[in-house]
Amino acid sequence: MDHVSSLPDEVLYHILSFLTTKEAALTSILSKRWRNLFTFVPNLDIDDSVFLHPQEGKEDRYEIQKSFMKFVDRVLALQGNSPIKKLSLKLRTGFDSHRVDGWISNALARGVTELDLLIILYTADYYLLSSKYFRNLVTLKLNSVRVDWLAAGDIFLPMLKTLVLHSVRLCVDKYFFSALPALEELVLVSVNWGGKDVNVSNASLKILTVNYNICLGTFSVDTPSLVYFCFTEYVAIDYPVVIMQNLFEARISLLVTQDQIERARAPNIDWVEDDVVLRLVNMEKLIKGIRNVQYMYLSPNTLEVLSLCCESMPVFNNLKSLTLKSHKSRGWQAMPVLLRNCPHLETLVLEGILHHVTDKCGYACDCVSREEKGCSLTSCPVKVLEIKGFRGTIKEMHMIKHFVNYFPCLMETNIYIEESGPPKLRVPQVCEFIAEMMEHYGKSSSFNVQLLVGGYLYKKWTAQ
């Protein structure tokens, strides 16, 4: 029995809306009932990557492109003035940009709420998005196009909640973001700013992701409602304004050159003279701006660059959980100050504990032997310590012992070994070491250590 054809029209449109337009169009030939159903789906999801077959000759491709244009024109003609919800256009193989302008305008005129465009031309130029009136748009995603919204009043996006700009060439004035009254999420990835200063100023923004942007001047953020901030960037020239007082979670991964790291480590730096270092020092403005955060992740590079901000390190009063990733080429110079400035820290997650040894991390770990060893740990109230990416080396085991010894409020330590990590032979040695450690350090009766292998609990030790 054919159950599916007897479903109501709106239900069939909804089912077809989960397919690309091309896939949905195949149903036109199933039976008379299905002939034009796909044209009423209020989404157009078109991706021309189906053209990228190396075997096809050039003539073939031209014919297929012609029939592709004809197809889109026909579907739009059949849809007439009916409302459309989403238009997704991914074009990489060359096309008539005038025609594409027409398609986009058609969708905008019919109240499209979600627009997702990836348009790559054969030439080195960008496709210029000429449309300016996006009255109903709630979600806008642009990839590889050029956006020129410089004149005041040039852009009207009153309902926009989500804006994703990827590899876009952006020319906007500094009031652009503040003119988006409903914006909640902004993603800027590999955007080319043409050397301009970036100014993300918006009262309603909640989520901000800034990754791999290029050619930017200074970077300012004024987002009082921001809850989540993800930042993977080269160090900007300066951070004049950073306002995020309601921030909940921040992930900061700096991209640095080896030259920057070496200059930062140089013992007698004259900051005023050294441009490179001055730029790194300006990071302190970014760190100060996020100081109200509750969950923070810092990459190995970020932790090393913070070594230049130790004197001005803010107090992270609300920080409950801190995750630090380590790498053997990057140091922990900022670790002592950082741990001392987290008065309410509950959880510390260390993704890898082996790091580049300097004499400045000495207070926080036992890499270098010194008298006040561990003193910055004794003021840190952390209750849960998680060690991820544990490799079972002696050095790591000594570091864990050091933490267990000096963190005064520690209740729980979880050690994670990857499945692909050290061979099973080492696990018994690790267990022996942990057992010894438990005996040695008379912790409270509720202190426990768990060893997890491949994500599953292998063994648990509780203090007697």
Partner 1 sequence: MSSKMIVLMSSDGQSFEVEEAVAIQSQTIAHMVEDDCVADGIPLANVESKILVKVIEYCKKYHVDEANPISEEDLNKWDEKFMDLEQSTIFELILAANYLNIKSLFDLTCQTVADMIKGKTPEEIRSTFNIENDFTPEEEEAVRKENQWAFE
> In whole angstroms, how close is the CB of 457 to partner 1 at the nearest point?
18
Two tokens, residue 359: 């004499």
Two tokens, residue 386: 């998680």
Q: Which is nearer to partner 1, 70 or 370 (CB)?
A: 70
> In whole angstroms, how close is the CB of 25 to partner 1 at the nearest point?
3
| Residues composing the chain | 464
Q: Which is nearer to partner 1, 77 or 368 (CB)?
A: 77
DSSP for 206-233, please give it: -EEEEES-BS---EEEE-TT--EEEEEE
Q: Which is nearer to partner 1, 70 or 174 (CB)?
A: 70
Two tokens, residue 56: 């096809």
Q: Which is nearer to partner 1, 16 or 210 (CB)?
A: 16
> In whole angstroms, how close is the CB of 37 to partner 1 at the nearest point?
12
> In whole angstroms, how close is the CB of 279 to partner 1 at the nearest point?
39
Q: In what order do the strands lie in the sheet with 198-201?
A: 198-201, 219-222, 242-243
Q: Are 410 and 382 in contact (CB under 8 A)?
A: yes
Two tokens, residue 138: 């709630």
Q: Which is nearer to partner 1, 28 or 245 (CB)?
A: 28
Two tokens, residue 450: 């768990």
Q: Residue 143: helix, strand or coil by DSSP?
A: strand
Q: Which is nearer to partner 1, 28 or 130 (CB)?
A: 28
Residues with Cβ within 8 Å of 239's Cβ and at least 6 positions away in sequence, in order, are 218, 219, 220, 221, 282, 283, 285, 286, 289
> In whole angstroms, how close is the CB of 38 to partner 1 at the nearest point?
8
> In whole angstroms, how close is the CB of 58 to partner 1 at the nearest point?
16
Q: Residue 24 belongs to what H/E stretch?
A: helix 21-25
User: 271 phi and psi, to 5 degrees?
Assistant: -60, -35
CA 457 to CA 176: how far, in whole Å?
51
DSSP for 428-442, please give it: HHHHHHHHHHHHHS-
> In whole angstroms, how close is the CB of 443 to partner 1 at the nearest point?
29
> In whole angstroms, how close is the CB of 64 to partner 1 at the nearest point?
6
Q: Which is nearer to partner 1, 41 or 163 (CB)?
A: 41
Q: How far is CA 461 from CA 102, 437, 464, in A?
A: 68, 10, 9
Q: Which is nearer to partner 1, 41 or 129 (CB)?
A: 41
CA 380 to CA 315: how far, in whole Å?
12
User: Closest Cα to residue 197, out of 170, 224, 179, 223?
Assistant: 170
CA 143 to CA 165: how far, in whole Å?
6
Packed helices 394-406 and 426-440: angle between N→C axes, nearest 10 degrees: 20
Q: Residue 43 belongs to what H/E stretch?
A: strand 43-47
> In whole angstroms, how close is the CB of 39 to partner 1 at the nearest point?
9
> In whole angstroms, how close is the CB of 34 to partner 1 at the nearest point?
8
> In whole angstroms, how close is the CB of 66 to partner 1 at the nearest point?
9
Instruction: Report the Cα–Cα distance between both ends of the chain, in Å, rounded.
Output: 68
Q: Which is nearer to partner 1, 7 or 457 (CB)?
A: 7
Applying CB under 8 A, which residues contact partner 1? 1-5, 7-8, 10-11, 14-19, 22-23, 25-32, 34-35, 50, 64, 67-68, 70-71, 74
CA 285 to CA 32: how far, in whole Å?
66
Q: Which is nearer to partner 1, 17 or 358 (CB)?
A: 17
Count H helices and E strands in the chain, helices first.
Answer: 12, 22
Q: Which is nearer to partner 1, 6 or 123 (CB)?
A: 6
